[in-house]
Structure 1
Amino acid sequence: MIATDDRLFRRSARAGGIHPLQRLIGLYRRGAPETGWDVSTHGLLHDLPPETRHDGPAARPVDPPPPGAGWRIDADNLTRRVSQLPALPQAVLQALALLRSDTASDTDCAARIALDPAITARILRLANSAFYGVSGRVATIRDAVLLLGRRSIGAMLAAAAVADSLARSPLAGHPEVAATMGHFWRHALASALAAQALARGRPPDQDVAFTAALLHDIGRLVLCGYHADGLAAVRAAAAVDDADTLPFERALLGLDHAEVGAMVARHWRFPPEVVAAIAAHHGPPAGDGPVTLADLVHLADAIAHVLDLEDDPAESVPALAPSSWRRIALDDDEAQRVFGDVEAGVRALSKSLLG
């Protein structure tokens, strides 16, 4: 077997399986498999856990907190606090709709985006980053639309609008949120770029896939800002067995970050399919059928983790739902392209988005 970094796959190993991304990241990091490793990507399906939720049958049962522990979240109160986050500007929502319209002109789209100067500035920084290959040639939003196309601009607009709204929100002043913001954005961008790349040639639109993956962990940021003590208890409980935090969120807080993220996306009036994909990104639909948006976000999240962009000693690649893996059918060549695009994109876009 490829001697890839076992640290990233320790949870899969403890569960008695081989994570399907383990061989693929080994190919990417080392260029070629070692002699004797000839199992195809899809041949690893038998090593995946049974068709279950992401937390899987190997997860330790989590007992509910004792009465009075104080970590359970009042969902109504959290919904009210989410509703107080700055809304996305109306011009942004209208521009996103125009970019997906077959009847609106490029000029109409550019004019609508340009109504918000702060977001326009972020988009121009993104458009002129090295990632898109037109650095120095994009002076206006119309230039950006003409040179890069509506899908790229739609993705940039979503990223710029979310960054701007977070910067204006009460969360921005919370010290724990501020400390984790850089990590949040690198993971969000990596997941978004992976989902966008995976959407090429598959049913969901690339800009919608980018947006859903960009927002998939926004619930973690909200929990960090509004329920820091409860989130700390979740992390401490999960750390005992070096386990995934999701089942502990449900047991200790009463809801998980995917549900909270869906609340935020709904408040920001993103399309229902984006809201649904965020809510289901740890538990995509089982069975057969076409690739879903939740499938793309689910795998994109795992790809962002497997790239370990921050060399985090605690990093671990989450389990994959077998049905999502079958539906997407990621092969060796595509995986290498996606990994390369994501690493290059995060390097090029992080500073442009947040600067």
Structure 2
Amino acid sequence: MLNLSPEAILASLPKLPAFPRIVTQILAVLDDDNASLSALVNHLQRDPVIAGRVLSAANASQFAHRTLGGVSSAVSFIGMRRVREIVLTTSMLDFSRNLRVPKFFWEHSLAVGICTHELAREFNLDEDRALVAGLLHDIGKLWMAYLHSQEEQKVEDILSSQPRPLCEVEREVFGMDHCAIGAIIARYWKLPEEIIEAIVEHHRPNRPDLGKLAAAVHVAEAICNGLDLPLRNDNQVIEISVPALQALEMDWNADMSDLLGRVDARFQHARALVQ
């Protein structure tokens, strides 16, 4: 057992790749469209990979009747909301993949980010924060896999032979679960408290005062595992928390075929876009 401490985790964070500055810029200027546009344009001018993905998304649109050759025209064509989504997703997934962890980790983060984003649209949450919260909900697991791969593999081995709650096994092996580790990392990055709560509580969503964003991430992870996004033999379909559904005012028995279809289609498209 590692018996990790918050101080040890904080001391290890400089070993991680740099957190994408554009993510915190977007989160800081959500209420200022002009500032948001300026931050995005500056970032796109410096990052040809993201610029190329914005162009690709614009040219792939069903409404594109001609090839768009410049970033500014692409931004005007697909709109700020879609550009922010592409920039946030691309930045966070590139960060995850720079950690050199198995492909499943960043694909799972992508799926939960997209599903949380769709739930935000359905239940009147901030869409950018929802996307970031979903993409980052397992940042603690990424830290585990990057810095302590042997112990992370031990967790996987235990779970494959003994079906038990993930966080319980992590606490046995690490002395702390990925939710608690993720919260320490998110606070170090100065992310909004609403996102930190989602990282901490997505496996423990039974508080009666649970925030809507934390509830959305919990529900999104359950939906993605149920849809096998991404496909893995040991996907665990977690029990849906009643307080989480109540926080979202969501009827689990309602027809969700449209929502599930959008999540599946967007995941397949986004995965192809960032390959």
Q: Shorter-chain TM-score: what band?
A: 0.7 to 0.9
| CA displacement at 1:308 relative to structure 2 | 1.0
User: What residue number does 1:300 align with?
Assistant: 220
1:203 CA displacement: 3.8
**Does residue 153 of structure 1 match 2:73?**
no
Q: Which residue of 2 aligns with 1:318?
A: 238
Match of 2:15 in 1: 84
Q: Amino acid of the residue matched to residue 25 of structure 2?
A: Q
Decide whether the 8 Å contact of 1:106 with 1:145 is kept in 2: no
2:206 and 2:253 map into 1 onto residues whose CA distance is: 24
CA distance in 2, matches of 1:92, 1:326: 30
The normalised TM-score by structure 1 is: 0.67
Q: CA deviation at 1:332?
A: 5.4
Deviation at 1:78, TM superposition (A): 2.3
**Matched residues in 1 for 2:69 and 2:165: separation?**
45
**Which among 284, 289, 298 is matched to residue 205 of structure 2?**
284
Please list the CA deviations of residues 34-91 of structure 1 after superposition, one character each: whole Å capped at 9, or x if unmatched. Answer: xxxxxxxxxxxxxxxxxxxxxxxxxxxxxxxxxxxx4333432222222332333545
Q: CA deviation at 1:325?
A: 2.0
Query: Aligned pair count?
Result: 273
Q: What is the TM-score with the length of structure 2 in the denominator?
A: 0.84
Match of 1:162 in 2: 92
Gap change, CA 1:278 and 1:81, over 3 Å in 2? same
- What value does the CA root-mean-square deviation take over the aligned residues? 2.9
- The CA distance in 1 between the partners of 2:206 and 2:134, in whole Å, is 17
Structure 2 portions without partners, runs of 5+? none
How far apart are 1:303 and its partner, in Å? 0.6
Choose the corresponding residue for 2:46, options 116, 124, 132. 116
Counterpart of 2:246 in structure 1: which amino acid?
A: R
Q: How far did 1:287 drift?
A: 1.9
Q: Deviations over 1:234-261 (max 9, x none)?
A: 2333333322311111233111111222
SS at match of 2:18: coil
1:47-62 equivalences under 5 Å are none
Q: Which has the higher helix share?
A: 2
Aligned-residue identity in percent? 26
1:196 equivalent in structure 2: 117
Question: Amino acid of the residue matched to residue 300 of structure 1?
Answer: A
> Is residue 2:28 matched to residue 1:97?
yes
Offset of residue 331 of structure 1: 4.9
- The residue type paired with residue 221 of structure 2 is D
| CA distance in structure 1 between the aligned counterparts of 2:209 and 2:11, rounded to whole angstroms | 38
Alignment counterpart, residue 227 of structure 1, candidates 148, 152, 156:
148
In 2: Cα distance, 1:123 partner to 1:263 partner: 31
Instruction: Extract unaligned runs of 5+ from structure 1.
Output: 1-69
Deviates more, 1:261-270 or 1:157-166: 261-270
1:56 corresponds to which residue?
none
State which structure, 1 or 2, has the greater radius of gyration over its C-alpha atoms: 1
